[in-house]
Structure 1
Amino acid sequence: MKVLRFAALGDSLTEGVGDPVEGGWRGWAALLAGGLAPGEVPVEFRNFAKSGAQSDDVVTKQLPAALAFRPDLVAVVVGVNDTLRCTFDIHEVAARIDLVCAEFAARGALVMTACLPDPGTMLGLPGVLGRPLARRQHAVNAVVHELSRRYGAVHLHAADGEWVSDRTMWSADRLHPGERGHRMLAVRFHARLAEKGLELGDVPASEPERPEPTRSASLLWLATAGTGWLARRCTDLLPQLMRLTAEEIRHRARGTSLGLDLGTAHAVASALSALPVTKAV
């Protein structure tokens, strides 16, 4: 009997951070794996995602191992960590995600993608601080949208909607889904795969198995481990973010903020036009 192979590539979201189980993390991809095929069809799942991974890590570290696994279905969800680095370049991010999707599509694997909320919104940063991060994430999402169309990927739009503001969906760090959020992603991906006409197993359960974190636990995490987590992710970004914030303030004062948005749109168009020509699926 043929085994359905499912691989997941990406960062902490796909690794499962926010959905703890004994011995580590579980997450939406593992939850989804249990419902990818009818009961008589075995599913082999491997999660190559790692916390802190950027698009370059996916290409150099995760892609070779995932290709050797020869998956039938592969999730490629990455880009948020790129936006939190001073080296962010939408041209490079687009080229890397395109390379990963092209490698799997060329081997007949069905690719899954998602666009995600921007970290500034999730952390509740003030507008002038959060807007530069939002602009970067919007650029990544625009690239993912286009590459999903190009490679016939199963794409989940998760960048906005009620789930973003629903605190029960998120863990104490406000950046990763909690168990309920991971289950919601698994359910929504299952629905998108069903729309694609795949023969699937049972829909993943949507209700959590464990109690949700209390507000006091969330505040304690943010005041202790959360501060260190954010510092590790953003230290090299902070000087640049201050410059971007100053630029944001100047444009607001002049009434020319639209120019920043247009600049981002132009950068996305330029990044996509620079990619190798690929026949759309």
Structure 2
Amino acid sequence: MRPVRFVALGDSLTQGVGDPADDGWRGWAALLAEGLTAAPADFTNLAVSGAQTRDVVERQTPAALELRPDMASVVIGVNDTLRCTFDIHAVAARLDEAYAALTGQGAILLTACLPDPGAMLGLPGALARPLARRQRAVNTVVHALSERYGAVHLHAAEGAWLTDRAMWSADRLHPGERGHRQFAVRFHALLADSGLATGSAPSAEPEFPGPTRSAGLWWLATAGTAWVLRRCRDLLPQLLGLALDEIRHRARGTSARLDLRASAAVSAALAALSVADRPDVA
């Protein structure tokens, strides 16, 4: 009998950024793979830093299908919210396509909802709220589609772990080793409860010390500065416009309209998928 074949799709979170290994990054998916069965799983990590839902559909999903996995994780969406091209209709359609392709081939699907990046970065309210609204929209879509495709879904967008500094790497956007282990432990528990993981659960305790405050400052002064500049060129002009809109609505007491608008967009995006699946619709 061949070993369980597990393929991970996604962005830097699944690639393992924040959990260094001798040859690069390890991450939650690799940790989880070690405990799926008593024998080592056949694990392939297709995740790429900076990936968006478009990359998952166009590049990673075809590669995953060629491997014919028994289990596939798709954890993606934060990078979509950080682009000026953000479109919840497109995000929903791409996730639906990826989920359908993988489950259609018989793979057990793993998904997760994620915290919003604005809160993790500690952005001011007027800047953070539009990003939070976008991430909530993505999470709502992921929740709905996970139920539709019978995915093993991890609720990672809330909980005490989000404010525990020890869980996060120096950049505050990616989990550190302890955070990646938390992801792996929680996914393993969900799979074990469903009889889908029979190996030993990953350890929640890290092998290496967490990042220091000086490491965080060094990241901000070096790689962090470059990251901020890239996002400024892409997202900042639009985000400033969204922030001004946020301020105007708060001054008028009409902030609820922004939430209603976002909710309506999510509902329309999911409804469009339902219509597209009807056999009597061309």
Q: TM-score, normalised by structure 1?
A: 0.96
* Structure 1 counterpart of 2:18, one-letter code: G
Alpha-carbon distance, 1:2 to partner: 2.6
Q: Which amino acid aligns with 1:29?
A: A
- 1:135-191, Cα deviation, whole Å (9 max, x unpaired): 000000000000000000000000011010000000000000000000000000000
Question: Is 1:68 the counterpart of 2:82 in the alignment?
Answer: no
User: 1:235 — aligned with what?
Assistant: 233
Q: Structure 1 CA distance, aligned partners of 2:165 and 2:198?
A: 30
Sequence identity, in percent?
A: 68
Task: Supply the RMSD in Å over aligned alpha carbons.
Answer: 1.3
Quote the offset at 1:223 in angstroms: 2.2
Partner of 2:72: helix, strand, or coil?
A: strand
Corresponding residue of 2:183? 185
Distance 1:61 1:234 in 2: 27
User: Who is 1:255 aligned against?
Assistant: 253
Q: TM-score, normalised by structure 2?
A: 0.96
Which residue does 1:37 correspond to in 2? 37
- Residue 215 of structure 1 deviates from its aligned partner by 1.0
Q: How does 1:144-163 map to 2 (within 5 A)?
A: 144-163=142-161
Q: CA deviation at 1:199?
A: 4.2
State how far apart, in whole Å, the 1-side matches of 2:109 and 2:261 are. Answer: 30
* Cα drift, residue 277 of structure 1: 2.8
Secondary structure (helix, strand or coil) at the match of 1:9 reads strand
Equivalent pairs counted in the alignment come to: 277
Alignment of 1:104-119 (within 5 A): 104-119=102-117
Structure 2 unmatched ranges of 5 or more: none
Match of 1:3 in 2: 3
* Structure 1 residue 3: Cα displacement: 1.9
Helix, strand or coil at the partner of 1:88: coil
Aligned partners of 1:38 and 1:199 also within 8 Å: no
Local SS of the residue matching 1:64: helix
> What SS is found at the alignment partner of 2:83?
coil
Q: 80, 90, 93: which is aligned to 2:91? A: 93
Residue ranges of structure 1 left out of the alignment (5+ in a row):
none
Which aligned segments of 4 or more residues in structure 1 are displaced greater than 4 angstroms? Answer: none
Deviates more, 1:227-236 or 1:80-89: 227-236
Q: Distance in 2 between matches of 1:119 and 1:231?
A: 16
